[in-house]
């Protein structure tokens, strides 16, 4: 019997050597490797290329991406840069991981959940928000909509922006409060002039989609985007994440970048590198803020992962093609990662077995485990979780999210799977379906 883990990290000697180099270099916290990774991710997001020589034009690629210690931190800092706080509402799909919602709660905002479309998007089957429900959820208090590019498939931002524009009259930008951050928040909200569109792109680095007639990569579509580089993600730095944003009229990117640095490093106006300059010990604390910076050890893993990333995305596409063929033959519904204008990052392979209950689904997961295949469920909707139930949210109000979850299984999808492993997973699924007389 084979043992197929769900999502082990794909780490080679290249990543190991880069980490060793970082350790030997004498600089292990945020420093040159982190800054280089930020520039390279900026170039990747704009061009889809991982080999742009960002050293040739450092200024061009600087101040556009901020590497942090997680996507959760990136989501929270995106909201704090935007100026979301107590009294504000943030709209989040009911079908996502907790971080999409908890980041807004950390900022003191109120989360409003929106159900997904029945069976997800008509083409990709990705569990996107119901856009009519989204439009009706926007009030005078709404400051942000956080869409989720679940499984690596980019959501329909054209529709989301259209809704935000249509509801523009309800939007009131935050007043300046006389503090440097409050002033930035005011200028950003005024320049955007509508509810901001945020992307939880924890799964979707490297995905692309036709947006307003042009091919755009994830990170170059929403007003603010957050990526995850957690150990189970396509692209990992063990733990880690990044924020990026679109240029905001009248606000300098360098200023936004500076505030991300301040928010992620205690509100301290000099980082460790700046303090090493001769005689430059003195610093100020301009806000009692957070600590969520990326270290150069993590960035070292990321630099070498980025070298390999296009190859990793290709391998995911090959595995997905094999799973697609098997599911189509078995009559199992699955995500469509590669459709006309949309190329996913192929992060998760979600299947839905027609007509089964949540109990039968759990039995499928057990039968797969008995055959050595680890599977999972992405996701149990947030209104079913204790923390959100305690806030008065009820799953009965999100029937599409519940139905999507009840018959869903996530198959193992990662780049350590050999072709034989993929065939084995398919065979285990076939046996399970047959034994349980499903489909």
Ligand X SMILES: Cc1ncc(COP(=O)(O)O)c(C=O)c1O
Residues that bind ligand X (CB under 6 A): 70-72, 96-97, 99-100, 148, 200, 202, 228, 230, 241
A 10 A CB-CB count for 120 gives 22
**Per-residue H/E/C for 25-82:** HCCCCCCHHHHHHHHHHHHHHHHCCCCCCCCCCHHHHCCCEEEECCHHHHHHHHHHHH
Residue 42: phi and psi, rounded to 5, are -60, -45
DSSP per position, 349-389: EEEE-TT--HHHHHHHHHHHHHTTB--B-S---GGGSHHHH
Nearest to 203 by CA among 383, 435, 378: 378
Q: Kindly state the smallest distance separating residue 99's Cβ from ligand X, in Å.
A: 4
Which residue lies nearer to ligand X by CB, 41 or 148?
148
Nearer to ligand X, 189 or 375 (CB): 375
Nearest-approach distance from CB 160 to ligand X, in angstroms: 16
Q: How far is the CB of 349 from ligand X (least distance, A)?
A: 15
Between 31 and 241, name the residue whose CB sits nearer to ligand X: 241
Give the nearest distance from C-beta 140 to ligand X in angstroms.
Answer: 27
How far is 160 from 376, CA to CA, in rounded Å? 29
CB of 378 to ligand X, least distance (A): 7
CA–CA distances in Å: residue 389 to residues 27, 71, 121, 215, 397: 45, 24, 26, 40, 12
Q: What token pair was written down for 434?
A: 């047959």
Angstrom distance (rounded) from CA 84 to CA 80: 6
Q: C-alpha 215: how far from its chain's center? A: 19
Give min distance, CB of 245 to ligand X, in A.
17
Residue 78 C-beta: closest distance to ligand X, Å: 12
- Whichever of 227 and 402 has its CB closer to ligand X, that residue is 227
Q: Taking a C-beta distance cutoff of 8 angstroms, is the pair 383, 12 a contact?
A: no
For every residue of 119-180, DSSP letters joined together read TS-TTT---PBPHHHHHHH--TTEEEEEEE-GGG----HHHHHHHHHHTGGG--PPPP-SSH
> Please, which residue, 97 or 257, has the CB nearer to ligand X?
97
Q: Which is nearer to ligand X, 241 or 412 (CB)?
A: 241
Cβ proximity to ligand X, 299 vs 438, nearer residue: 299
Q: Which residues contact 105 (CB under 8 A, 6 or more apart)?
A: 111
Q: How far is the CB of 69 from ligand X (least distance, A)?
A: 8
**Smaller CB distance to ligand X: residue 71 or 248?**
71
The b/e string for 388-423 (b: 16+ C-beta within 10 A; e otherwise) is beeeebebeebebbbbbbbbbbbbbbbbebeeebbe
Least spacing, CB of residue 72 vs ligand X, in Å: 3
Cβ distance to ligand X smaller for residue 100 or 432: 100
Tokens of 203: 């799964």
Residue 97 or 388: the one with the smaller Cβ distance to ligand X is 97
Q: Give the nearest distance from C-beta 75 to ligand X in angstroms.
A: 7
């Amino acid at each position: 019997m084979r043992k197929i883990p769900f999502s082990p990290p794909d780490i080679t000697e290249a990543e190991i050597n880069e980490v060793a180099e970082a350790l030997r270099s004498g600089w292990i916290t945020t420093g040159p490797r982190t800054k280089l990774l930020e520039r390279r991710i900026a170039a990747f997001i704009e061009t889809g290329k991982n080999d742009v020589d960002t050293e040739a034009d450092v200024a061009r690629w600087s101040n556009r991406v901020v590497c942090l210690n997680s996507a959760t931190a990136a989501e929270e800092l995106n909201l704090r840069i935007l100026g979301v706080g107590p009294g504000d509402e943030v709209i989040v799909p009911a079908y996502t991981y907790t971080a999409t919602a908890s980041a807004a709660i950390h900022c003191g905002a109120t989360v409003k959940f929106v159900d997904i479309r029945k069976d997800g998007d008509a083409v990709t089957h990705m569990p996107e928000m119901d856009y009519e429900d989204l439009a009706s959820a926007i009030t005078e208090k709404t400051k942000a909509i956080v869409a989720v590019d679940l499984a690596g498939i980019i959501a329909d931002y054209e529709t989301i922006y259209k809704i935000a524009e249509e509801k523009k009259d309800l939007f009131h930008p935050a007043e300046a409060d006389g503090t440097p951050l409050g002033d930035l928040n005011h200028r950003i909200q005024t320049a955007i002039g509508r509810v901001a569109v945020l992307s939880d792109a924890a799964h979707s680095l490297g995905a692309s989609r036709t947006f307003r007639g042009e091919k755009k990569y994830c990170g170059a579509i929403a007003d603010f985007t957050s990526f995850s580089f957690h150990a189970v993600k396509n692209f990992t730095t063990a733990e880690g994440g990044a924020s990026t944003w679109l240029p905001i009229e009248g606000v300098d990117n360098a200023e936004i970048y500076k505030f991300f640095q301040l928010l992620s490093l205690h509100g301290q106006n000099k980082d460790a590198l700046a303090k090493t300059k001769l005689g430059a010990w003195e610093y100020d604390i301009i806000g009692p803020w957070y600590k969520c910076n990326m270290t150069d050890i993590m960035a070292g893993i990321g630099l070498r992962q980025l070298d390999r990333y296009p190859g990793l995305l290709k391998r995911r596409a090959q595995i997905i093609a094999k799973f697609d063929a098997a599911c189509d033959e078995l009559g199992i519904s699955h995500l469509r990662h590669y459709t006309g204008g949309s190329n996913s990052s192929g992060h998760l392979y979600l299947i839905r077995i027609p007509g089964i209950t949540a109990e039968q689904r759990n039995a499928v997961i057990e039968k797969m485990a008995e055959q050595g295949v680890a599977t999972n469920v992405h996701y149990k909707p947030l209104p079913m979780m204790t923390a959100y139930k305690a806030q008065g949210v009820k799953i009965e109000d999100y029937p599409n999210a519940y139905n999507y979850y009840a018959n869903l299984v996530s198959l193992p999808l990662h780049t350590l799977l050999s072709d034989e492993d993929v065939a084995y997973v398919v065979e285990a699924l076939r046996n399970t379906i047959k034994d349980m007389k499903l489909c």
